[in-house]
Amino acid sequence: MNNLDSEKLEKDHLLSGKGYLFQIDFLKAAMIFLVIFDHFVAWSIKSEIAASLWERISIPIFLVIIGFNMGLSFQREGASTLKELYSWKYFKKKIFRYLVPFLILYAASTFIGLFMYGFDPEAMYYGQFYPEHGPINYFIGYLPFWGPGNWFLPVIFGSILLLPLLYWVFTKSKILALVSCFVIEFIMQVITFFLIGDITSWEELHIYNIIVTSVVFNLSGIGLGMWFSFGYKLTSKRNAFMWILFPISLIYIIFYQFFDLRIEIDGTRFLMGDYHFLFIPYSAFLVLLALQFIPNKSNLRISKGIKSISRATYHILLTQILGFGMITAWWGTHYGMDLPFNPFDIIDLILLWILFIGFGTLWYKIDLLKNLPRRILYYINFFVVFPCLLFLSFWMQGLWIPLPLIVIILYALAALMIHYVIKEPLPTKVLSVWTLLIFISFILMVLQIELLSASLHWILNVPIGIYIVFAVLYTGYYYK
């Protein structure tokens, strides 16, 4: 079979079905584990374990996948003009997929953050947001109750606006479009160097945050991904340049990791960060390897879980932003593993993987529900139970747990039993009654902590007991 036939079969496969490739699912699932790892493990450890070669690849690979998936999506839809690419259908899909979950998190996390800071907005601002971020950063997608990984949200939102235009350019000239991605990113690095240079004030850092979280500052990875969407065969002539860029990138990363290589001009660092165009080709080549050697489909039992995690990576990102934000507010840092190394920290990391990925996947499934009332009820369940599990881990160390929190945890355990043992969802009316229980319990828990002394907590426990009796009687009557 000649190369042209091979390329045609490859493209036909890419555009067939819904376009889900198990290779991409596997990469996304693996990378979200690394994202959580990155936010939990301090740099004192990461610098000693060659993180640049295996752990810091998560964001570059996600950038490549963004371009790859969007390129495939546009090709399947057959859109060719800017009017077709920037359609209401496109924006509607992105609004519900990305913006709505962000706005829900914005409201929920702000309330939780205010609670953790005694409903003092100034305390939350200076304890959680400033000085690394300033008021100007609110306008690009930073949450008031900041958590690690928040910086990637502006990149995602920016890609929604830019990718249709980028794809349109690719349809005109793929080579010109790809080269332009690298050139534009290089220009952004030059602008950053001359505009800011050495960061000498917090205000300069706030401006720097705006620049580095823009999609054009991260364009090389997205451009490579879109290039691969038109053909990802590793031995194809169109991808031969990757065999040149990959070793260059690998050598640079080795010198960066082991010999502290930094490109500087007159003592000022020129290339900022470790997600730029000298790092990206290494990760992009790994994506090509995965596309080449991992099967397109998998019937393994674990593959179903991998696919679920892959679909939910955005919601997992949002979930871990909230979770690590709470950890930061409580402990003063989101790094739970630092020197001197404690083997028990590995257990904490595993528990966070289970918690963040499990709840993030659950959130994604909630968003798939067509029944709006049930979806709202599940949102309330999610944003009560998830933070309460973290509150439980915080307060257990002080050997004191408020009764409303115990009620919420028992409810969560009962919900798990219903889901995995009974395997039958509660009717909406019954679900609403029990959801109201945990909502009331959460509000009363907040009031106990913020307003009442310990000796008066029992006053707010009485309404919970009365409502539990009502909920039990109502449930019994409903099923009678």
Cα atoms in the 13 Å half-sphere on the side-chain side of 175: 5
Q: Are 42 and 335 spatial neighbours (Cβ–Cβ below 8 Å)?
A: yes
* For residue 340, cis peptide bond before it (omega within 30 degrees of 0): yes
DSSP string, 222-258: HHHHHHHHT---TT-GGGTTHHHHHHHHHHHHHHHHH
Task: Provide the pLDDT for residue 1.
Answer: 44
Listed in sequence order, the residues at least 6 apart from 244 whose beta carbon sits closer than 8 Å to its beta carbon are none
Task: Provide the pLDDT for residue 243.
Answer: 98
Joined tokens for residue 213: 């979280």
Predicted confidence (pLDDT) per residue in 111-156, tens digit: 999 999 999 999 999 999 999 999 999 999 999 999 999 999 999 9
Query: 310 exposed, middle or buried (CB, 10 Å; 0-12, 13-18, 19+)?
Result: buried
Query: 435 exposed, middle or buried (CB, 10 Å; 0-12, 13-18, 19+)?
Result: buried
DSSP 178: H
Task: Provide the pLDDT for residue 20.
Answer: 78
Bridge-based pairing state of the strands 268-269 and 264-265: antiparallel
Task: Provide the pLDDT for residue 413.
Answer: 95
Task: Provide the pLDDT for residue 386.
Answer: 98
Kindly tell me if the per-residue pLDDT of 355 is higher than 50: yes
Looking at the chain, the number of H-run helices and the number of E-run strands are: 22, 2
Please state, in angstroms and rounded to a whole number, the distance separating the CA atoms of residues 480 and 476.
6
Band (pLDDT 50/70/90 cuts) for residue 6 is: very low
* Cα torsion through 371, 373, 379, 381, rounded to 10: -110
* Element of type H or E holding 167: helix 152-172
* Element of type H or E holding 264: strand 264-265
Q: Are 68 and 24 spatial neighbours (Cβ–Cβ below 8 Å)?
A: yes
Please state, in angstroms and rounded to a whole number, the distance separating the CA atoms of residues 290 and 332.
38
Q: Give percent of the chain with pLDDT exceeding 90.
A: 87
Please state, in angstroms and rounded to a whole number, the distance separating the CA atoms of residues 183 and 398.
55
Q: What are the residue ranges spanned by the domains of the chain? A: 3-303, 369-479
Kindly tell me if the per-residue pLDDT of 5 is higher than 80: no
Which amino acid would we find at residue 118?
G
Q: What is the average pLDDT across 26-40?
A: 98
Prediction pTM value: 0.95
Joined tokens for residue 363: 């959130």
Please state, in angstroms and rounded to a whole number, the distance separating the CA atoms of residues 46 and 51.
5
Beta pairing partners, 264: 269
Q: Answer left, alpha or beta for residue 119, where phi above 0 means left and psi between -120 and 50 means alpha.
A: left
Task: Provide the pLDDT for residue 438.
Answer: 98
Joined tokens for residue 270: 């020129």
Predicted confidence (pLDDT) per residue in 146-181, tens digit: 999 999 999 999 999 999 999 999 999 999 999 999
| DSSP H stretches of helix in 41-99 | 43-46, 51-54, 58-77, 82-85, 88-94
Task: Provide the pLDDT for residue 454.
Answer: 73
Q: Chain-wide mean pLDDT for the chain?
A: 94
Kindly tell me if the per-residue pLDDT of 455 is higher than 80: no
Task: Provide the pLDDT for residue 13.
Answer: 57
Predicted confidence (pLDDT) per residue in 421-447, tens digit: 888 889 999 999 999 999 999 999 999
Task: Provide the pLDDT for residue 118.
Answer: 95
Task: Provide the pLDDT for residue 10.
Answer: 52
Q: What is the average pLDDT across 73-98?
A: 96
Predicted confidence (pLDDT) per residue in 233-286, tens digit: 999 999 999 999 999 999 999 999 999 999 999 889 999 889 999 999 999 999
The three-point CA angle 406-357-295 to 5° equals 155
Question: In this predicted structure, which of 38-42, 450-454, 474-478 has the lowest mean pLDDT?
Answer: 450-454
